[in-house]
Amino acid sequence: MPPGRYPHHVTIEAPAVDDGWDGEGAIGEQTVTFSKAADAYAYIEPLRGREYWAAAQIQAETTHEIRMRPLDITLTNRHEIVFGTRRFEIEAVRNIGERNVELVLMCKEKV
């Protein structure tokens, strides 16, 4: 795929849950780690940004739209998109026109 329409190289990561079982009878907390599921080219566009005051902290929230071609894997809101040092949580996946030509991912950047 030429990078003209989709100039950003991204990595899609899938979650893996560790139940805390170490095989010796001890059970700890569940931890979620992410591992590479696919590489793709995408177009990343920020839609809005805002800062709000919550729990006596300033927290930033930026919402992005990420467009890409469909992949061999089925993307869900459990996957994350990695672009350089930035991470995006997928909030919704839209298959435009249900034609499997382009996916639009509504994402929230992790800060």
d(CA 98, CA 39): 22
Using CB atoms within 10 Å of the CB of residue 65, give its burial: 0 to 12 exposed, 13 to 18 middle, 19+ buried: middle
32-70 confidence digits (pLDDT tens)? 899 999 999 999 999 876 655 554 555 567 689 999 999
Mean pLDDT in residue range 83-105: 92
Q: Does the pLDDT value for residue 103 go beyond 60?
A: yes
Whole-angstrom CA distances from 78 to 10, 32, 34, 59, 66 are 16, 11, 10, 22, 15
Three-state secondary structure call for residue 85: coil
**How sure is the predictor about 85, in pLDDT bands with cuts at 50, 70 and 90?**
very high
Residue whose entry in the numeric block shows the structure tokens 């979650």: 15
The token duo for 104 is 């639009």
Residue 98 CB partners (closer than 8 Å, separation 6+): none
Instruction: Work out the percent of the chain whose per-residue pLDDT is above 90.
Output: 53
**Which residue intervals of the chain are DSSP H helices?**
none
DSSP type of residue 20:
-
Mean pLDDT in residue range 70-75: 91
Return the higher-pLDDT residue of 32 and 89.
Answer: 89
Q: How high is the pLDDT of residue 57?
A: 55
